[in-house]
Chain A
């Protein structure tokens, strides 16, 4: 049985959500004057707004991953997350 998985899923989720959020928010910022594009959403620039939301959630996952990595280093005090997983890295 292999104990250490080579991939922290928190990082994958965080990375994808942050990248998608950044992409959508930038696109929303670039198209902020394109009225016709946002007529269907009642003038809401949903790309910009939702892109920022996704970016924030993605960043939170990346932070959690970084925190988890730091506390999983040898010699470090085990974090709450580690105790939950039996001290095993994810």
Chain B
């Protein structure tokens, strides 16, 4: 039985959005003449567009739903994923790494590895990345189909096929530019769809002060340490006194350094947006412009989850499903009964926190806007992955290994074909995930192992000219192996050996799964760094001449001296960091 039903006005809102999305694809079709237009937007977009797309491309299933879920689970500490887990890395990418990505004229992140190191390092990165984009896009589709069928009673197959069809149409027609333009549109839709949810939610709770007061009340009645839901740093001295179960060092090193820099500074999905910018300055401004809304996003996507935890009968709401906490329903097993943990406490279905807020707070009309914003976020995630896939496939796999020197028209055709193929494979992935749910956990784990060491390789490549291709290649493999070994030897409290780790011998015990994840990343990074350095010192370095424009010490610094001081990227970067520090203090 669906949770709610849409009225004609809701369908009208949704219809308007889809018509616009397809219209953009159609209008851009005329501008797609070369493979460079199609796969790189002809490197011609202004920074406000690439900046908002940079942010939006990352708004897949994990963001809007997942961060609301984390808000309900961890409270305001979820903001660590933004304030320490994103902003510093985005600033670093803008100031120190974009000059190499953009200046080397590489067409993709794997291609930079080819220029800096060698073919095998590029291929390793390209193949792993291509597989990951297909899988992520499939997971986006699957999560959307599942959510809409639960919420609105829509047919899973129809949801998946229609959304795939729309993304296919606008990406095949207008390529990367179309994906980027639509991502900007999705950004505005998400902001306008979720801002009123937060405003109405805070009002329903009784105001901003009451929100924090009532969260503390829940903390007290659940006998949790003080500040569990309402503070970001206060309990970080010990894993037992904060909601995410990590101590500050693991948080800062694992999330704030290894994972965050590994994602924001090396993931082609986001870096591709900055590489499509019209100039070096625009490319460097892209992540900085993205960081401004990113810094404020916790208020948009995390707060709904926290509010869902407290709204209830006393505020005139009847939670659908019942037996949960606030509007967050209990997780139900295959038998339809609410699930309980070993201590007899109800397990909450946190992923439904934000959707339940939409359903409970929005009347018809706004409900259509909210659901459309949700669908937009899933489609942004899908399109982002598909456009990253078609570029890496065409340039780093097909052109590198199948047909080296064909005509540009051939690669343009290949880019379009790869888009169709990528979406077909994503569909297959979506159905594989829905048939065997374990696949999702398993592949997520594999990709986490592959990604963990990446930043070590890029940092060595860009800032140490002595590092070599052999060093990078074996370092990456060693990093992944290190992650596998550490995960196999460790286990989080409450987990059983298997997919959650400890498959060799559970020697190390962590207080939470996040702590285990962060430390796995730290070990992977360390292993990659150590092996890369040792192998590099044992192998022959490339002559300096070949590395100009690719390594920090051999490249002219982009000079911002001619720009007015307030226009310089460094000025914006300092302002961003100051703002982030201020937010951390305000929610300490």
Contacts and interface: CB of A to CB of B under 8 A. Distances in A.
A28 B365 contact: yes
A64 B316 CA distance: 43
Given A2-B33, A85-B46, A20 B13 contact: yes
B28 A40 contact: no
B20 A15 contact: yes
A42 B292 CA distance: 32
Contacts of B317: 40
Contacts of A27: 9, 365
Contact of A17 (B31, B44, B45, B192): B192
Contacts of A50: 192, 196, 366, 369
A5 B363 contact: no
Contacts of B189: 16
A13 interface: yes
A54 B366 CA distance: 12
Contacts of B279: 86
B30 A6 contact: yes
Interface in A69-90: 84-86, 88, 90
Chain A contact residues (Cβ within 8 angstroms of B): what range? 35 or more
A2 B196 contact: no
Chain B contact residues (Cβ within 8 angstroms of A): what range? 35 or more
A7 B180 CA distance: 13
Contacts of A88: 44, 278
Interface string B173-193: 000010001001100110010
B184 A46 contact: no
A19 interface: yes
Interface string A12-39: 1101110110011001100100000111
A2 B36 CA distance: 9
A6 B24 contact: no
B185 A16 contact: yes
A9 interface: yes
Contact of A20 (B16, B36, B363): B16
B49 A90 contact: yes
16 contacts: A1-B42, A2-B32, A2-B34, A2-B42, A6-B27, A7-B28, A7-B31, A12-B24, A16-B189, A28-B365, A42-B203, A44-B200, A86-B278, A86-B279, A88-B44, A90-B46
Interface of A: 1-7, 9, 12-13, 15-17, 19-20, 23-24, 27-28, 31, 37-42, 44, 46-47, 50-51, 53-54, 57, 84-86, 88, 90
